[in-house]
Structure 1
Amino acid sequence: MTKIRFLHIADLHLDSPFKGISAIPQNRWKDIRESTFQAFTNVIDYAIESKPDFILIVGDIYDGENRSLRAQHLFQKGMEALQTEGISVFISYGNHDHLSGNWVRFQLPNNVQVFQEEVETKRLTVKGNTVHITGFSYKERHVREAMHSFYPVANGQDIHIGMLHGSVEGNDEHSVYAPFRKSDLIDKGYDYWALGHIHKRQILHDEPPIIYPGNTQSRHRNESGLKGFYEVSLTKGHVDLQFIPSSAFIYDKIEVSCEGIIHANELITRIEESLKMYSESNGNAIIELTLTNIENDAEELLQASTKEEWLSIIQESLSAENHFAIVQQLKFDLPKETIKEAEMIMQMIEEWSTSNWKHALKELYQHPKGSRYLDPIEKEFIKETIQEVDQLLTKVVTQRRE
C-alpha cells in the first residue's frame, strides 16, 4: 500500500487577543498581536513547499464566534494559495468558531471541504488508496455530547481518519467538550485520530495514533515552548510523525547566573549575551527571566533599584540591540540566607515571653495618645501579632524572589 502524507493542524485562533502584554514595550505590541497571522502564513508556506496530499484543520481556526473580517480574508487567501498547488483541505469548526456565530460570509475555494454539524464521512482517493475522513463542526459553543459515538466503525482495507475537536472525559485542565475516552476511539478501528482543542502537543496513544498537535502560536506564558503542527506519513498499520514548528515567537523561561557580578553594566551585558545565544537557537521569544546565584555584591546591586526599573532597563537594552527576545517578567532567586533571616526572626519572636513583648513595644504603649487604642499584651494579642509578622515576612521574601 502506498504511503499517504498529510498535515494535521488545529487551534490557529486567528486574531486572538493576547494576555499579559502590558509589561512588554509598546513598540513590540504589533509583532505580538500579528503573531497568530504570521504562524498561519508559516503553515501555508510550509504546505506549498512540501506539497502534502491533503491538510486537516481540526477546529478553532478563529478565536471568536464573530470571526473578524481581516482574519477571514487572510484565511481565504491561504486556501486559494493551496488550491493553486492542488492541495485539498478538510475543515471542522470548534467551540470558538462554531457555526452559530455571526460573521461576514466568505466563499471558500473548491479545494476546501467543510464538515457540518452532523457527523459525516468524506472520501477521496490518494495514490490508489481510498481514504475516509470523518468529522463534524460545532453547531454552538458548548457541545457536551459524546460525538465520537456517531462515528462509524472502520471497514476493511481502506484508510480511516477521524477528526475530533474535543477532550478526554474527566480532563480538568481545559473545558470539556465532545468528551471521549481513549478506548472509545481505539474501538472504532481508525488508522489515525486527528484531535484539536487542547493547546498542548500530546500523543495520547501510539497504535492507533491519537494525536493533539497543540496550537500553532502561543498566546500567553502558560502556553510555553515550541508550537506548530504535525506532518503525518501514513500507511495501514504504520505512521511516521514529524513535528513542524510554526510559531512567530515562543514563550519560555531562562535563568541567568549573577555569579561574580559587581556592576550593573556587567549584569546587563551578561543578560544580553544569554538571550542572544537563546534567540540564535530558538528564534524569537518572550521570556520569563530569573536571576540566579545572587551573591552579596549582586544582591546589593539589585536592591539599589526597584525591580520595575531593572526590567525597564533590560527591555530597553535588548530593544536597542534589535533582539526579538523580550523579557516580560523578571524574578530574583535570592540566596537561602535571605529566607533563613526570615526564619530566624520568626523563631526568635515565637520564643519571646510576655515581658520581652512589653519591652519591645514599650515606646508604643507609652505614647500619650495612641496607647489607649492598643489591646493589652496578652496571649491572644501575641498569637495574632506572630501570625501578622509571619505573613509580612512571607510577602517580603516572595516579592524579593519574584
Structure 2
Amino acid sequence: MKFIHVSDVHLGIKPDEGKPWSEKRAQDIWDSFAEVIGAAVELKPDFLLISGDLFHAQPLKKELREVNYLFSRIPQTKIILMAGNHDYLRTKSYYLTMEWEENVYFFRQEEPGHFDFEEENVSIYGLSYWHREIGEPVYDSIIPEDLSKINILLVHGGDPQHIPYHPKHILENGFDYIAAGHIHKGGQQIPGRAVMAGSLEPTDKNDVGSHGYWLGTIDKEHTDIHFHPVKKCEYCHEVYPVTGKTTNFELCEWAKTLLAERPGYQYFRLFLRGKVSPDTEFNTAKLEEFDRVVDVTEQLSPDYDYEKLKENYKDTLLGNYIEEMERRPQDVVTKKALEYGVNALLGYKICR
C-alpha cells in the first residue's frame, strides 16, 4: 500500500504579516498543498493522510471549496482527514456541513474511531479536536480491532496541552504506522514506524530547516518512508560576530552579500552577537528594510575593563558595586547583573 503523509499545512495563515512578502508567503502555502496534490496525481498513492491543522483557523466555505476541488483531482486516492488544535471543530463549523468528495474520509468526533478499507486490508484510526487543548493521552489507549490488517493511527499532538503520546507504547498496542502531526519540525520518531510529518511549509520565522511531505509504502512486514522537501520558503538564522570595530556599513555589506549568495526562497533572521563598547548603536532598522530579512536581534554585551573601572571609581557606588558582584559566585545570573548594573550606573542602555 502506498501513501502520502502530510500535516500542519495551515492554509489561511499569513506569515511575516506586515512584511512586503507576506501575501506571497500566504499564497505559497496554498501552492505547496496543490503541489502535494499534483504529486498524488502523478504517483497515485492509495491514501493521503492529513494529520491535522490543514487550516490555520476555522475554514471559510470558499476555502473548503478550494480544497475539495483539489481532492477531486485524485479520485483514485482515499483522503483521510482530521481537525487539529488550530482548526478544531465547533457546532457550526463548516467542516461538518461540507459535502466532501466521495474519496474523503473525515473524522468528525473527538472520540477515537476508525475507517476500514477491505480492498487494501487497511484500518485507519483517529479523531478530530473539538477543543483547542486536550491534555489526556488519548492515543496511548487505542487498541486496533483486527491485528491481521495494516493498522495506521493518525495523531495530532505530542506536548502536554495537545494529546501527549508515547510512540513505542502505541506500536506495542498493535499499530503498524503512526502518522503524526502538530510539531512543525518533522522527522522519524521511530524509523519506519512513527513519523512526525512537520509542517508542509514553515509558518513562523522560528520554523527553521527543511519542510515538505512524506511518501511511503507499507505492508505487515515492512515500511519504507522517504521525505520530499517543498522549497518555497526556508527560514535561516544567521549570526554576525560583532566586535568593537564593527560598523553599520560593514553590517549592511554582510547582509547584501548574504542575500545575493543565497537562494531566493530563503528568508533570514539576523543575530548580531559579541562584545562592543557600551555606547555602540547599530542601525538594525536599516537592516530590516532589506528584502527577505525578517528581523534583526542584538545579542550584545559591553566590553568593560572592570579592573580599570574599579581603579577609576574607587570608593564610589560604581566601584563598590563591581567589587560586591565579583565576590559572589560567578554564574550566568551574577555576570548579567554585573553588566546591567554597570551599564545603568554609567548611564548606558541596558545590554541587548
Q: Flag the 1:263–1:15 CA change in 2: closer, same or farther, 3 A.
A: closer
Query: Which of 243, 254, 270 is equivalent to 2:238?
Result: 254
1:31, distance to aligned residue in structure 2 (A):
0.7
- Displacement, 1:158? 2.4
1:134 counterpart (101, 125, 135): 125
Aligned to 1:309: 286
Match of 2:3 among 3, 6, 11: 6
1:389, CA displacement in angstroms? 1.9
Unpaired runs of 5+ residues, structure 2, are 326-336
Are the structure 2 counterparts of residues 235 and 306 from structure 1 closer, same or farther at C-alpha, using a change threshold of 3 Å? same
Greater Cα offset, 53-62 or 101-110: 101-110
Aligned residues: 333
Specify the alignment match of 2:309 in structure 1: 349
Structure 1: which 5+ residue stretches go unaligned? 319-325, 359-376
In structure 2, what is the Cα distance between the partners aligned to 1:115 and 1:327?
40
Q: Which residue of 2 aligns with 1:180?
A: 165
- Partners of 2:179 and 2:47 lie apart in 1 by 13
- Deviation (angstroms), 1:109: 0.5
Q: Relative to structure 1, is the Cα distance of residues 381 and 162 closer, same or farther in structure 2, using a 3 angstrom cutoff?
A: closer
- Give the whole-Å Cα distance in 1 for the aligned partners of 2:131 and 2:274: 52
Q: Which amino acid aligns with 1:46?
A: A
Taking the aligned partners of 1:270 and 1:380, their CA distance within structure 2 comes to 39
Please name the residue that 1:370 is paired with.
none
Deviations 1:172-204 (A, max 9, x none): xxx522222234212212111111121121322
Describe the superposition over 1:278-311 as per-residue Cα deviations: whole angstroms up to 9, x where unpaired: 20xxx512212357899x9xx9xxx797221243
Counterparts of 2:99 and 2:307, CA distance in 1? 72
Q: Which residue of 1 aligns with 2:73?
A: 81
User: 2:47 aligned to 30, 51, 54, which one?
Assistant: 54
Corresponding residue SS for 1:35:
helix
2:314 counterpart letter in structure 1: S
Quick one: structure 1 residues 96 and 378, their matched pair in 2 at CA, closer, same or farther if it must change by over 3 Å? closer
Compared CA separation, residues 47 and 391, structure 1 to 2 (3 A) = farther
Residue 120 in structure 1 maps to residue 73 in structure 2: no
CA distance in 2, matches of 1:237, 1:395: 67
**How do 1:213-228 and structure 2 match up within 5 A?**
213-228=197-212
Q: Aligned partner of 1:187: which letter?
A: E
What do the CA deviations read for 1:360-381 (whole angstroms, capped 9, x no partner)? xxxxxxxxxxxxxxxxx99689
Alignment partner of 2:124: what SS? strand
Task: Rate the CA distance shift 1:138–1:305 in 2: closer, same or farther, 3 A.
Answer: closer
- Partner of residue 56, structure 2: 63
State the shift of 1:125 in Å: 4.3
Match of 1:189 in 2: 174
Q: Find the counterpart in structure 1 of residue 152 from structure 2.
A: 161
AA paired with 2:294? Answer: Q
Task: Determine if contact 2:272/2:297 at 8 Å carries over to the other structure.
Answer: yes
Asked whether the 8 Å contact 1:218–1:247 carries over to 2, the reply is no
Q: Report SS of the residue matched to 1:72.
A: helix
Distance 1:67 1:45 in 2: 22
How many angstroms does 1:87 deviate by?
A: 1.5
- The answer to whether residue 27 in structure 2 is matched with residue 34 in structure 1 is yes
Find the aligned partners of 2:71 and 2:236 in 1 and give their Cα distance.
32
Residue of structure 1 equivalent to 2:12: 15
CA–CA distance in 2 between the matches of 1:114 and 1:73? 15
The alignment yields a C-alpha RMSD, in angstroms, of 3.9
